[in-house]
Amino acid sequence: MKSRSRPAGSSRRAESLRRAGAAAGARAGRARPGGALSAWLATLLRHPALWSGLLAAALYLPALSAGFVRDDHELVEANAFLRDTGHLGRLMVSDFWEQAGGVSGLWRPLVTLSYWLNGRLGDWQPGPFHAANLLAHAAATALMVGLMLAGGAPRAAAWIGGLWFAAMPAHVESVAWIAGRSDLLCAGFLFAALALDRRARGARRAWPGWGPMVLLAAALLSKEAAAPFVALVAVAEWTEPGPPRGAREMLAWLAPYLAVTVVWMAVHVVVAPGGEGALDPATLERGRWTGWLALPAFLGFLWPGYPHTPDFTPALPPAHWTPAAVGGAVLHLMLGGTLVLLLRRRARAALPLALFWLALLPLVGLALVRGFVATSERVVYLPSAGAAWALGLAVTAPALARWRPAAGAAWVAAAALVVASAAVTLRLLPTWRDDGAMFRAMIATQPHNPVGFIGWAGILAERGREPEARELLRRAETLDPRRPEIHLARAAMGFRHADWGNVLAEARATLALDPRQRDAQVFEATALVRLRRFEEAEAALRAMLARRPGDPDVAAVWGQYLLLAGRLGEALPYLEHAARWKTDDASLEYALGVASDALGRPAQARAAFERTLALDPRYYDGWLRLARACHELGDAAARDAALERAGRLPESGDGRVARLRAEFGGSAP
């Protein structure tokens, strides 16, 4: 059947009428007070970015009541360099983990700056840190929707992709864990940079402009995952509708981004060069082959029914060519082949696939080259945007829309996926409430991973349940006998009982497996001081002071060494500095009290001994020292109360309480 022909010029007249009507509407809007604002609000309320961002924020409201968990303690809560004044400049140009006691080869100054600001604005309480993560996730979600629209996706596709990205259970680790902020900032800045780049290209500008370049730099300074940005822009350029651009034009467009990336890489190598790992050759080789297992795990993370768990670590393959490793390699070939096919067709679906696959390749490469396996769920935060984008395109594909039953089924399936993802996300949030909940979840879902057993053992030991803790460490040792954290946990238990010989042995066993372990170095030096092996202790402590000047843990041990060596005037400043940051160390407060008393400062000594006993009421020598300090201050009631408390302890059988009562005139009851 032939279509009816229209008179010549009818389409032009219709377009003229449409424009005239739009102009009249615009004039009417300007004539009415608030008309433009009302129109803007109406547009905003219909925008998928708004509702996707609101869903992202609403889902994580329960996380606001969570505490500091695992890495949060070292990076934020107990990071004296972050909390003190005068160290920000050094923090910004050092390894991300250096000031928290580690070496990582990572440089993330914007994340460090965000922690620095967050702590000062929120009084170093965990709630404001979690609120910042929540807002960062909501912003990243909204920006991802904006990127989809700037990349040519239909609005319906943006609704699907944005809502699923907001609700993905794989994002819980990045959002509910304060240490996951690097993923949120990196992704948000990258989405904004790529969206602005596409807008600049659509506006036919001669170059991208400063905005995308600054945002790319911000993404790179938040996390190394932004490194493939240049490749993503190249894919977007090639698949842009219209005649293909020449190589020279494309290179001119990419050159500013390439320059930013090269400069970042050069500075990164200088600031955070990293170092050799502590893996033995056999484990290193197996770790390399684990890289091929990463992609199947990453794909599984996207599914709500996957057994989601904190800090997922796959079991190392027993040999090179296991079926799982081969399957992972084949999966990479399939994704790479699909991307090549889409690029040959200049299909816009190539960009979301590239966002997913290229963002994961550096992690796989790191495993294959260095044996470093990074497979926790947080690493898919950025790549998952590509998966959400691809889902939106698939559900709204024109070929599917032609068959209404299939299109309806696709929409129902997408809605079910979003709802199921949101439900699982809400279920997972309590596992990030505190360390205990997290480690118990790891044990339940990853019985092959020793980290959960080691972490839960440490918590039980702190609660006085040492037999259970030692059994958990034995189980961890059967899973991985070369895990240095096992010996470190045993050293910590020995420390609580002043078993200095055992502390020294376990600390040195830790350092034999990982010479960079800062806590083991501190344990070793402390044991040497307490065993009065002063020459060895001084050598170890001077080396640590040179590497980490101002570290309160090192200052505490150095101050105690100086105290025992009789160098009281030198000891006091180090002990006072350490006590500012180590507010939970009874032995440090005791040493500070002894030094203050010896230097004729009874008031300061009394305060230090009172803090000692508030932390550890069973500190026998603390009660005796407190009694003497109170006596020197003329406070007989407090002196006698301290002696009375000391007399209740089993150690009072040594007769020192009775001798002090006699010395003080027998006035104690």
pLDDT of residue 161: 97
- On whether the CB atoms of residues 144 and 171 are closer than 8 A, the answer is no
Domain termination site, one of 429, 453, 474: 429
| 60 falls within a domain | yes
In the predicted structure, residue 20 carries a pLDDT above the cut 80: no
Per-residue pLDDT tens over the stretch 208-248: 999 999 999 999 999 999 999 999 999 999 998 888 888 88
| 219 falls within a domain | yes
| 319 falls within a domain | yes
pLDDT of residue 287: 62
Per-residue pLDDT tens over the stretch 132-152: 999 999 999 999 999 999 999
Across the chain, mean pLDDT equals: 88
Domains: count for the chain: 2
Residue 420's domain comprises: 48-429
Report how far residue 474's alpha carbon sits from residue 381's, in angstroms, rounded to the nearest whole number. Answer: 35
* Polymer length in residues for the chain: 669
- On whether the CB atoms of residues 98 and 547 are closer than 8 A, the answer is no
| 447 falls within a domain | no
Spell out where 301-384 has E strands.
Answer: none
- On whether the CB atoms of residues 292 and 328 are closer than 8 A, the answer is yes
Phi then psi dihedrals of residue 208, to 5 deg: -65, -30
Domain termination site, one of 429, 449, 478: 429
Least confident residue range of 162-166, 273-277, 308-312, 621-625 = 273-277
Domain termination site, one of 429, 464, 488: 429
pLDDT of residue 232: 97
- Burial tier of 403 (Cβ tally within 10 Å: 0-12, 13-18, 19+): exposed
pLDDT of residue 498: 81
- Tokens 């299909």 locate to 347
pLDDT of residue 511: 94
pLDDT of residue 334: 94
Report how far residue 469's alpha carbon sits from residue 475's, in angstroms, rounded to the nearest whole number. Answer: 10
- On whether the CB atoms of residues 526 and 544 are closer than 8 A, the answer is no
Per-residue pLDDT tens over the stretch 21-49: 444 444 444 445 567 888 878 888 889 99
Which CATH number goes with the domain that contains 605? 1.25.40.10
- On whether the CB atoms of residues 161 and 153 are closer than 8 A, the answer is yes
Least confident residue range of 84-88, 452-456, 501-505 = 84-88
Q: Of 193, 185, 188, which Cα lies nearest the Cα of 118?
A: 185
| 37 falls within a domain | no
| 555 falls within a domain | no
Three-state secondary structure call for residue 457? helix
- On whether the CB atoms of residues 185 and 218 are closer than 8 A, the answer is yes
Binned at pLDDT 50, 70 and 90, residue 18 comes out as: very low
- Please report how the helices 155-167 and 404-428 are oriented relative to each other, as an axis angle in degrees rounded to 10: 30
In the predicted structure, residue 484 carries a pLDDT above the cut 60: yes
- What is the average per-residue pLDDT within 581-604? 90
- Tokens 């904004």 locate to 192
In the predicted structure, residue 316 carries a pLDDT above the cut 70: no
Per-residue pLDDT tens over the stretch 296-313: 888 889 999 998 988 887
> Which residues, 6+ apart, have CB-to-CB distance to 626 below 8 Å?
593, 606, 609, 610, 612, 613, 638, 642
In the predicted structure, residue 73 carries a pLDDT above the cut 80: yes
pLDDT of residue 3: 40
Per-residue pLDDT tens over the stretch 163-202: 999 999 999 999 999 999 999 999 999 999 999 999 998 8
Highest mean pLDDT among 72-86, 278-292, 365-379, 601-615: 601-615
Considering the entire predicted model, what is its pTM?
0.83
Better-scored residue on pLDDT, 318 or 2: 318
- On whether the CB atoms of residues 451 and 442 are closer than 8 A, the answer is yes
Number of Cβ atoms within 10 Å of the Cβ of 401:
14
| 284 falls within a domain | yes
Provide the phi-psi class of 634: left if phi over 0, else alpha when psi is between -120 and 50, else beta.
Answer: left
| 168 falls within a domain | yes
Binned at pLDDT 50, 70 and 90, residue 100 comes out as: low
